Chains A and B, each alone.
Chain A
Amino acid sequence: MSTVQTHASQSDHDHSHEHHGPAKGIGRWLFATNHKDIGTMYMVFSLAMFLVGGAMAMIIRAELMQPGLQLVDPGFFNSMTTMHALIMVFGAVMPATVGLANWMIPLQIGAPDMALPRMNNLSFWILPFAFALLIATIFVPGGAPAGGWTLYPPLVSQTGDALPMAIFAVHLMGISSIMGSINVIVTIMNMRAPGMSLLKMPLFVWTWLITAYLLIAVMPVLAGAVTMVLTDHFFETSFFSASGGGDPVLFQHIFWFFGHPEVYIMILPAFGIVSEIIPRFSRKPMFGYDSMVYATASIAFLSFIVWAHHMFTTGMPLAGELFFMLSTMLIAIPTGVKVFNWTATMWKGSITFEPPMLFALSFLFLFTIGGFSGLMLAIAPVDFQYHDTYFVVAHFHYVLVPGAVFAIMAGVYYWLPKWTGRMYDMKIAKLHFWLSNIFVNVLFFPQHFLGLAGMPRRVPDYNTQFADWNFVSSIGAFGFGLSQLLFVYIIWAAARKGEQATDKVWDAEAQSLEWTLPSPAPYHSFETPPTIK
């Protein structure tokens, strides 16, 4: 990776383009084409959706706090689990990583902006309409979709008037993601500063390049699948209808051909963020940079050939079970390379524990727990026991919450002073970390026990034998949910009244280009490309 770079003084550029700053008022945001403005909008939108999806999670955990039906009717409960998942996956995690990509990719490759700024504006502004449509389904006859985020037919056909709305919303999200990905690939391939070869790019840029290819390959597959559900429902086709000669299990194959790479779409940028933070706060270069790149590419490739491990219980030939079991286990190798490299980077490093590093370290431990439970689920005969239990819920929440979400929070804490020019309150940020770290384990770890004991997922009521751990899990959920209000406060307070941040921000040697810019990063940066030595 590059470590030395030269470029003309950034302040000279700022003076020469003072006439070309941000537009005033709402127009700045509606017609935004500046990557920093669009990145900010993505991040704010993602935070809003994180709170909406989180509120739904609170409803779910409140209902599950005790056995019996207390607060909501079962149909609404099922809508909540479905909507929580769709909003968190497509509205919170993905837009957050796209927001980080918008902010950081041009800064890290020394480009003045994204290659396609107008398409960037459109990619973002599609999202509020898509999610307004999706959330509005709660209020239409029949209620919001309740068949799970996987939208399996024939169950999904029981959705009322919400079905076409939800499918259109999924199409809009897909179009937004595809346009965003095209923009990322085109920017990275065409806008890098002179001298920045591919293997000199920061790892966050690398992980996003690979993620963008994954998105282009699989979002159209999801769009195709839901288009066929739509035509089955309204135009009497029989793609997935057994009575017309179709095959409902075929939908599952197509869905998971999208769904498994989708997991890596959420986690690869998280890997990139952690790979930026751990070397910085260990005061050492990344151990095994090249192997990190190859491991990322290997994970992306393998993600296309493991989809049916989500479907062992639908029945498949023994050879199929073996293939999908072993290919899934292979993913542990490149993932292990990454965990090894992060650990080796810290080895004998001069480590300090600022909030970004705390979140990155928690990611390292807790994501690994999610990875190991994934290995357990990959074992076909074992999966027959665990399938559709709370063990699966515990597994993917460990991957996505202390995995993807913690990495995103680490990224926000790492780059926020560079974005705003202001430092946040370290003490409250550390408090936010410790509360989140404790409560996330109180919330999700007991769900392993519930799943192993046989509690099924997606149920509003359960046998009294599961009462104790459900109570503990709900307490963890309320604690975790409330802790996130601190996160909102920290960002708000930093932006309004934080102390001036230095250009380097952190007391450690920086390697990538964004740290050569002033804090806050000027509205237009790298108008003269830097030269990478």
Chain B
Amino acid sequence: MNSSSPDFIDADRKRRIRRSVIWLSLLALAFYVGFIALTALRA
């Protein structure tokens, strides 16, 4: 069941969206792992 709008996103935009999602997810992961690593070094 899909109640979202019909698909209006062209292939190129989809690629850009996918790339943005990957980079932003990596950024979030870097903050998570980075802060644990920094604390481990300090403790």
Chain A residues in contact with chain B, CB under 8 A?
Answer: 17, 20-23, 27-28, 31-35, 37, 112-113, 115-118, 178, 181-182, 185-186, 189-191, 216-221, 223-225, 227-228, 238-240, 245-247, 250, 254, 257, 524, 527
Q: Are B17 and A178 in contact (CB under 8 A)?
A: no
Interface membership of chain B positions 1-25, coded 1 if the CB is closer than 8 angstroms to chain A and 0 otherwise: 1111110110001001100110011
Q: Which residue of B lies closest to A175 (CB)?
A: B28
Q: Complex Cα distance A37/B25, Å? A: 25
For residue B8, give the distance in angstroms from its CB to the closest CB of chain A: 5
Residues of B contacting A118 with CB < 8 Å? Answer: 4
Name B's interface SS: helix
Q: Complex Cα distance A117/B1, Å? A: 12
Q: What 6 pairs between A and B have smallest CB-CB spacing? A: A220-B32, A33-B4, A112-B5, A220-B31, A117-B4, A224-B35
Q: Are B27 and A32 in contact (CB under 8 A)?
A: no
Interface membership of chain B positions 21-43, coded 1 if the CB is closer than 8 angstroms to chain A and 0 otherwise: 10011011101110110011011
Q: Complex Cα distance A159/B40, Å? A: 24
Q: Complex Cα distance A245/B40, Å? A: 11
Q: Which residue of B lies closest to A231 (CB)?
A: B36
For residue B22, give the distance in angstroms from its CB to the closest CB of chain A: 10
Residues of B contacting A227 with CB < 8 Å? Answer: 36
Contacts known (A228-B36, A250-B43); A190 close to B13, Cβ less than 8 A: yes
Residues of B contacting A247 with CB < 8 Å? Answer: 42-43
Q: Are B43 and A217 in contact (CB under 8 A)?
A: no
Q: Are B43 and A32 in contact (CB under 8 A)?
A: no
Q: Are B17 and A254 in contact (CB under 8 A)?
A: no
Q: Complex Cα distance A43/B17, Å? A: 26
Residues of A contacting B17 with CB < 8 Å? Answer: 115-116, 186, 190
Q: Complex Cα distance A250/B31, Å? A: 16
Q: Are B43 and A246 in contact (CB under 8 A)?
A: yes
Given contacts A23-B3, A117-B5, A524-B5, 14 further A-B contacts (CB under 8 A): A22-B3, A31-B3, A34-B4, A112-B6, A115-B9, A116-B21, A118-B4, A182-B21, A185-B24, A186-B20, A217-B27, A220-B28, A221-B35, A257-B35
Show 28 A/B contacts (Cβ-Cβ < 8 Å), sorted by A.
A27-B1, A31-B1, A33-B2, A33-B3, A35-B4, A37-B3, A112-B6, A117-B4, A117-B5, A182-B20, A182-B21, A182-B24, A185-B24, A190-B13, A190-B20, A217-B27, A217-B31, A220-B28, A220-B31, A220-B35, A224-B33, A224-B39, A228-B36, A239-B43, A240-B43, A247-B42, A524-B5, A527-B8
Looking at the complex, which one of B3, B16, B27, B28 makes contact with A34 (CB distance below 8 Å)?
A: B3
Residues of B contacting A181 with CB < 8 Å? Answer: 24
Residues of A contacting B4 with CB < 8 Å? Answer: 33-35, 113, 117-118
For residue A297, give the distance in angstroms from its CB to the closest CB of chain B: 17
Q: Are A221 and B32 in contact (CB under 8 A)?
A: yes
For residue A34, give the distance in angstroms from its CB to the closest CB of chain B: 5
Q: Are B42 and A23 in contact (CB under 8 A)?
A: no
Q: Complex Cα distance A53/B3, Å? A: 32
Q: Complex Cα distance A406/B6, Å? A: 36
Q: Which residue of B lies closest to A258 (CB)?
A: B35
Q: Are B39 and A178 in contact (CB under 8 A)?
A: no
Q: Are A185 and B20 in contact (CB under 8 A)?
A: yes
Residues of B contacting A246 with CB < 8 Å? Answer: 43
Residues of A contacting B36 with CB < 8 Å? Answer: 224, 227-228
Residues of A contacting B9 with CB < 8 Å? Answer: 115, 191
Contacts known (A20-B6, A22-B3, A34-B3); A221 close to B21, Cβ less than 8 A: no
Q: Which residue of B lies closest to A177 (CB)?
A: B28
Residues of B contacting A219 with CB < 8 Å? Answer: 28
Q: Complex Cα distance A116/B1, Å? A: 16
For residue B31, give the distance in angstroms from its CB to the closest CB of chain A: 4
Q: Complex Cα distance A185/B40, Å? A: 31
Q: Are B35 and A254 in contact (CB under 8 A)?
A: yes
Q: Are A32 and B24 in contact (CB under 8 A)?
A: no
Q: Complex Cα distance A524/B3, Å? A: 9
Q: Complex Cα distance A131/B3, Å? A: 26
